[in-house]
């Protein structure tokens, strides 16, 4: 899948990037992530992004004991930058935005926060291929749909299987990786896969483990 006409080129990616630490939330290149922004620091971040390049880095905070605020935890090293492609204001002071994934980044260094939100120096080098668009998933559709039906059944998730069947491989893998309720560490592993093919393979493995674990638990209770 090729980049959108408004996406930045690799040379236009910024040296510094505001980051939004959210556990269990995954953004992938070309994926679309709706967000409801209401905290003052992230309202500031959104305003500043809209005034500049519209880029925000989505990144997961590492797990921490003691209920530490997710926004203050240490960060995983890899995140994904998204561009604000939809924006709306609400009467009660929230922003409703959609981020479209552009390119992954590695955190080279965290720098001083600005207006309450965190910022990093981003190393884009390892992920320059994200901007070229990877559409080769080498996907066994029938196997994926079979595993997905089992997984959704165990999770109580309903789906429009007609839409799923018509969705191109690359978009299906990206969307499922983002929306399936995998653990944070599993989502991070999906993000860090080197290729769409590797991500598809890992997702099948995660679905298999989740279904096997649920079935094993059911047997144990009987």
- State whether residue 135 is helix, strand or coil: coil
Question: Which residues are within 8 A (CB) of 140 and not within 5 positions of it... i.e. 6 or more apart?
Answer: 204
> Which residue, among 115, 132, 116, has the nearest Cα to 124 in the 3D structure?
132
At CB < 8 A and 24+ separation, what contacts does 123-129 make?
Answer: 124/10, 124/13, 127/103, 128/10, 128/103
Residues paired with residue 117 on neighbouring β-strands, in sequence order:
114
Quick one: average pLDDT of 150-160? 91
Q: CA 171, CA 27: separation in Å to the nearest integer?
A: 13
Look at 87-91, 158-162, 215-219 and tell me which has the smallest mean pLDDT: 215-219
**Please, how many CA atoms are within 13 Å of residue 185, restricted to the half-sphere of its CB?**
2
pLDDT in tens, 72-127: 789 999 999 999 999 999 999 999 999 999 999 999 999 999 999 999 999 999 99
pTM: 0.89
Whole-number mean pLDDT of the chain? 90
């Amino acid at each position: 899948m090729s980049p959108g006409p408004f996406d930045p080129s690799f040379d236009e990616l910024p040296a510094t990037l505001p980051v939004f630490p959210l556990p269990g939330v995954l953004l992938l290149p070309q994926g679309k992530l709706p967000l409801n922004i209401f905290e003052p620091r992230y309202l500031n971040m959104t305003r500043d992004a809209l005034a500049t390049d519209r880029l925000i880095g989505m990144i997961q905070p590492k797990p921490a004991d003691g209920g530490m605020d997710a926004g203050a935890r240490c960060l995983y090293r890899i995140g994904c930058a998204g561009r604000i492609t939809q924006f709306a204001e609400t009467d009660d002071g929230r922003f409703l935005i959609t981020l479209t994934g552009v390119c992954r980044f590695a955190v080279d260094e965290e720098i001083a926060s600005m207006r309450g939100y965190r910022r990093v120096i981003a190393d884009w080098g390892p992920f320059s291929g994200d901007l070229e668009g990877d559409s080769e998933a080498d996907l066994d559709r029938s196997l994926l749909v079979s595993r997905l039906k089992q997984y959704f059944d165990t999770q109580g998730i309903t789906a429009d299987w007609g839409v799923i069947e018509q969705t191109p491989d690359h978009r299906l893998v990206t969307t499922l990786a983002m929306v399936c309720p995998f653990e944070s560490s599993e989502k991070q592993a999906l993000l860090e896969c080197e290729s769409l093919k590797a991500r598809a393979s890992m997702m099948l493995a995660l679905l298999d483990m989740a279904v096997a674990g649920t079935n094993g638990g059911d047997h144990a209770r009987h």
